[in-house]
Amino acid sequence: MLKRNRPARRGRSTADETELLRLAEGLSDSSGRIEDAFWESRLTQRITRLISEREEDTLNSALDAANQADGRAYEALADMIESICEATRIEVNGAQWDAVLITAPALAWSRWQIGGGSISPDTLQNLKVQLGAHVLAKGTKLALADFLFSPDQLPHGFVPTAELTQALAQAARDGKNLKLDARELPETKTFLADTRYLLGVVLAPAGAALFRWQEDDGDREEILAQWQKQGAGIMQKLLAGSTFSLSMPGSYHNAWREADRLSRGYSLQATVAYLLMTLNIEPRQLQAVIGPFHSQQLEEYRVGFTRRGDDKVLHGVVWPLLDGEDEHTDCISEIEAILKEIGITAIHVHEHDFPLDYCDDCGTPLYPNLEGELLHAEMAEEEPGAQPTMLH
C-alpha cells in the first residue's frame, strides 16, 4: 500500500526509473489538459508494464527519486501509480466496462478484541445489497472479498494491490464474490482502536457513473447517512462487542486515506471512553499531555493520558502526520479541540522535541507525562465494579 512522505532508498538507477521520473516531471510541468493526456498516456503504459512484470522495486525507486528531486513530480507519479493499481478496464459481454477497487472502512474500538476475518455468504450478500442501494450508481456490478481486513492484512505494495483489483474485477464480471483463504493472510495485531476494511470492485460501463454521488440527484451527506444507518446493522455481526463508525466508501486509496485521517480523532475518543469506563472516573479527572516526536523531521504527535496529579501514563495515542502535513500544520489545535469536546480540560503541550522512542521489550511507543518523561503506558488497576478489560 502506498504511504506518502516516503523515506529515501539507495540503489542504482534503471532505465525504467529514469523514464518514469522524466514522464512524471513532464506531467507536473504540463500547461494544459491536452498535454496532461499526452504524459498520462505514456506514464500509464510504462507503469502498467512494470506492474505486469511485478517490478515493485522499480516503482518504489522512481518514487524515491521523484520525492528527492521534485515534490510535484512525486505527487503526479504517486497519483498515477495509485490509479493504475486500483482501476482497470475489462470486457463484459463484448462491451468495455470500468473496474475500480473500493473499500468501505469501519473505525472501531473494543475493550476486548475487534472483530474481522471471514464473512459468511449471507452477510456478504446483505452488504452488497446495501452498498448497491445507497453507495453505488445504478447499473453497476459489485464483487466483494469475503473477508473483513485489518490494516495488517491489506495488500502491501502496488503489485499485490493491482492483482487484487484484477481478481475482484473478474469475479464481478462473472457475478460472483472473491473467496479468500484466511490462512494465507497475516495475523492481526490487537489495539484498543483500529480500522477494518471491506474490499470489493465495482464495475460500470466505460465512462458511466460508478458511485451514487456522480448521479444528478446524488448527495454525499445523504449517501453516507444512509450507509451508516443501513450498513451498521450488518456490520455489527462482524464487529460484535465493538463500538464502531462507518466512514464513506469509495475508491481504495482515497477512502483508505480518509479513514486514516479520521482514525486519529477516533482513537482519542476511544481512549478516553475506555479510561472513563474502566476506571469509573469523569473526564475532568484525566489529563492529556501532548508532545512532538522527531526523527530527521517531525513524524508524529503522541498524547499521554494520566490522572490529574499523577505522573504515571495510563494510555497513549499516536497522531501521525499525513499527506502534506509538517511542523507548520496546526495539528495541536485539532487535537486540543477534540479533547475539549469530550470533556478533557487539563491539557499540557510540550514545546520541545522528543525522540521516536519505543519500549525495548515490546516495541510499543513511549508517551510523555507532565514532567517530560517518556513512559510505557501502564494501566492502573480497575476500580471496584468495573468490568474486566484488556489493554493493548
Q: Is residue 2 a part of any domain in this protein?
A: no
Instruction: Specify whether 125 is located in the same domain as 186.
Output: yes
- Domain assignment present for residue 353? The answer is yes
209 vs 381: CA distance, rounded Å: 54
The pLDDT assigned to 382 comes to 53
Residue 391 inside a domain? The answer is no
Residues forming a β-bridge with 287: 306, 346
Task: Specify whether 127 is located in the same domain as 231.
Answer: yes
Q: Please check whether residues 308 and 369 belong to one and the same domain.
A: yes
* Percent of the chain residues past pLDDT 90, beyond the cut: 82
Instruction: Please say whether the beta carbons of 377 and 271 come within 8 A.
Output: no
Q: Is residue 204 part of a domain?
A: yes
pLDDT at 300 over 90: yes
Q: Is residue 31 domain-resident?
A: yes
Averaged pLDDT, 345-365: 92
- Are residues 76 and 113 located together in one domain of the fold? no
Q: Is 315 a residue whose pLDDT tops 70?
A: yes
Does residue 300 lie in a domain region? yes
- At 68, the pLDDT band (50, 70, 90 cuts) reads confident
Residue 380 maps to a domain: no
What's the pLDDT at 12? Answer: 44
**150 shares its domain with 29:** no
- Regarding whether 116 and 25 lie in a shared domain, the answer is no
Residue 177 and residue 131 in one domain: yes
pTM: 0.89
The count of structural domains within the chain is 3
Highest-confidence segment of 209-213, 325-329, 381-385: 209-213
Of the two residues 73 and 2, the one the predictor is more confident about is: 73
Same domain, 98 and 237: yes
Please name the residue ranges forming H helices in 215-323. Answer: 220-238, 252-279
Q: Measuring CA to CA, which residue among 195, 208, 201 is closest to residue 251?
A: 201
- What lies within 8 Å, CB to CB, of 75 at 6+ separation is 28
Q: Which of residues 85, 101, 124 is at a domain's end?
A: 85
Q: Does residue 77 contact residue 43 with C-beta atoms inside 8 Å?
A: yes
Q: Average the pLDDT over 195-223 and give the result.
A: 96
Number of other residues whose CB lies within 10 A of the CB of residue 166: 17
Q: How confident is the model at residue 13 (pLDDT cuts 50, 70, 90)?
A: low
What is the band of 188 on the pLDDT scale with cuts at 50, 70, 90? confident
| Per-residue confidence (pLDDT) for residue 187, from 0 to 100 | 87
Which of 251, 268, 295 is the C-terminal boundary of a domain?
Answer: 251
* Residues 368, 374: Cα–Cα separation, whole Å: 5
Looking at the fold, whether 30 and 131 belong to one and the same domain comes out as no
Collapsing DSSP to helix, strand or coil, 230 comes out as helix
For residue 257, tell me if it sits in a domain.
no
Measured distance CA(172)–CA(169) in Å, rounded: 5
CA distance 211 to 100: 11
Quick one: pLDDT at residue 351? 92
Do 107 and 246 fall into the same domain?
yes
Burial class (CB in 10 A: 0-12, 13-18, 19+), 204: buried
Q: H or E element: which one contains 166? A: helix 158-173
Determine the pLDDT at residue 149. Answer: 96
CA max distance for the chain: 71
For residue 271, what is its C-alpha cell?
Answer: 481512549
Q: Which of 85, 107, 126 is the last residue of a domain?
A: 85
The C-alpha cell 479541540 sits at 337
Q: Three-state SS for 63?
A: helix
Give pLDDT, residue 391: 33
| Residue-wise pLDDT tens digits, 134-157 | 999 999 999 999 999 999 999 999
Supply 270's cell numbers: 476511544
Does 184 lie in the same domain as 114?
yes
Q: Which domain holds residue 97?
A: 93-251
CB contact set of 144 (below 8 Å; sequence gap of 6+): 119, 124, 127, 128, 168, 177, 178, 198, 199, 200
Closest CA relative to residue 99, chosen from 164, 159, 179, 24: 164
**Co-location of 242 and 336 in the same domain:** no
Terminal Cα-to-Cα distance of the chain (whole angstroms): 25
Average pLDDT, the chain: 91
Q: Which residue has the cell 499521554?
A: 304
